[in-house]
Amino acid sequence: MHTILSNKKPGSRVTNKFAFAEYMPLFVVLFLFIVGSLSSDRFIQVNNILNIFQYAAEPAIIAIGMMFVVLGRGIDLSVGSVMGIGNVTAALLVAAGYPVWLSIVGAILFGAMIGLINGILVTRGKMEPIIATLATMIGARSVIYFMTNGAPLFEGIPEEFKVIAQGYIFGVPNGVLFLVIAFAGAFIILGHTRYGRHIYAVGGSEETAGLFGIKVTWIKTSTYVISGMLAATAGVIGASRLGIGDPNAGVGYELIAITMIVVGGVRLAGGVGTVFGVFSGVLIVSILTNILQLDNVSTHAQHIFLGVALIGMMLFLSWKDVTEA
């Protein structure tokens, strides 16, 4: 795309059209904000806006991990189950009397281990990412039910663990701060480090990246590890926010994460996408969901709207590819 832009004079119709395409997710966010403001007086209240960000934290953190994997030309269907692993592992450890910090580290390392397994299956085992991560998704969920006997853990969760997600700093919910920190970290890594540039290079062409000395196997494996760690982190936040260990935590979150990044402009073919776009995608899904909830739309109908949003963005990206050709 940059080659095409460089051949056009500034201010040309083609340049303006592509600039509009790049910021399309932001325009959708602004449109939804206007719709929400008109549909309900409660939408523009400060508490509701903070709630949108707070409850978006868990799926958004998973979406960030998914973005790393997809940019490297992969996919991770196990993130929902890994979120559940992080949730129940942290809850079980703190309930057993282990220090809160150690319980959190243990849960995140468990997620990293599953991510490493995914990476090895894809790079060394030469398995298709969708098959490898589907297998670990099923396996991880089975481990969760084995760990909990399928029952939520309500007792023994200390207050110092609950306050991690339930607390406030200067009136801002901790969940909002977690979301901001996660996106800031992703922005720095992907936009301002050699490692980030290598992820984009591998997603663009593994063969070309290898010719330039990039360690393709290590890059791809590391993205799955990051995805696993972030998914487990989201699980820890969820366990802290609700104060329970939920064996069903994360069910369906892999689809929400994929929706968020695709609506935000990340290409499933790899190598294309921005942190800003994913942030916009998170806002689109979260604001749309909030509007539907305020209007008392059923959960099943909400999924229809999200599906339509996903289809619309995919059609838009397809149109963009045709116009760029």
**Residue positions counted in the chain:** 325
Residue 144 has pLDDT above 90, yes or no: yes
Rounded CA-CA distance 281/28 in Å is 9
Residue 301 confidence (pLDDT) = 76
CATH number assigned to the domain covering 55-251: 1.10.3470.10
Query: Tens digit of pLDDT for each residue in 26-48?
Result: 888 898 899 999 988 899 899 99
Crossing angle of helices 46-71 and 174-192, in 10° steps, is 30
Residue 3 confidence (pLDDT) = 37
Rg (the chain; Cα; Å): 20
Segments in the chain forming alpha helices (H):
2-6, 13-22, 24-39, 46-71, 79-95, 100-123, 129-148, 159-166, 174-192, 194-204, 206-211, 216-242, 253-263, 275-294, 299-324
Residue 325 has pLDDT above 70, yes or no: no
Q: What is the mean pLDDT of residues 75-83?
A: 97
Instruction: Assess contact for 249 and 79: CB atoms under 8 A.
Output: no
Cβ-in-10-Å burial (0-12, 13-18, 19+) of 145 comes to: middle
Residue 8 confidence (pLDDT) = 44
pTM attached to this predicted model: 0.88
Instruction: Assess contact for 261 and 268: CB atoms under 8 A.
Output: no
3-state secondary structure of 271: coil
Question: Which DSSP string corresponds to 135-182?
Answer: HHHHHHHHHHHHHHTT--B-TT--HHHHHHHH-EETTEEHHHHHHHHH
153-to-6, 236, 239, 283 alpha-carbon distances in Å: 58, 14, 10, 31
Rounded CA-CA distance 233/117 in Å is 18
- Domain positions in the chain are 55-251
Instruction: Assess contact for 125 and 132: CB atoms under 8 A.
Output: yes
Handedness of CA 211, 214, 218, 220 (dihedral sign): negative
Of the candidates 100, 118, 86, the one whose C-alpha atom is nearest the C-alpha of residue 236 is: 86
Rounded CA-CA distance 8/236 in Å is 49
Rounded CA-CA distance 87/102 in Å is 14
For 185, residues 6+ apart whose C-beta sits below 8 A from its C-beta are none
Q: What is the mean pLDDT of residues 307-315?
A: 74
Query: Tens digit of pLDDT for each residue in 244-295?
Result: 999 999 998 999 999 899 988 898 888 888 999 999 999 999 998 999 888 8
How is residue 9 annotated by DSSP?
-
263-to-71, 256, 312 alpha-carbon distances in Å: 14, 10, 8
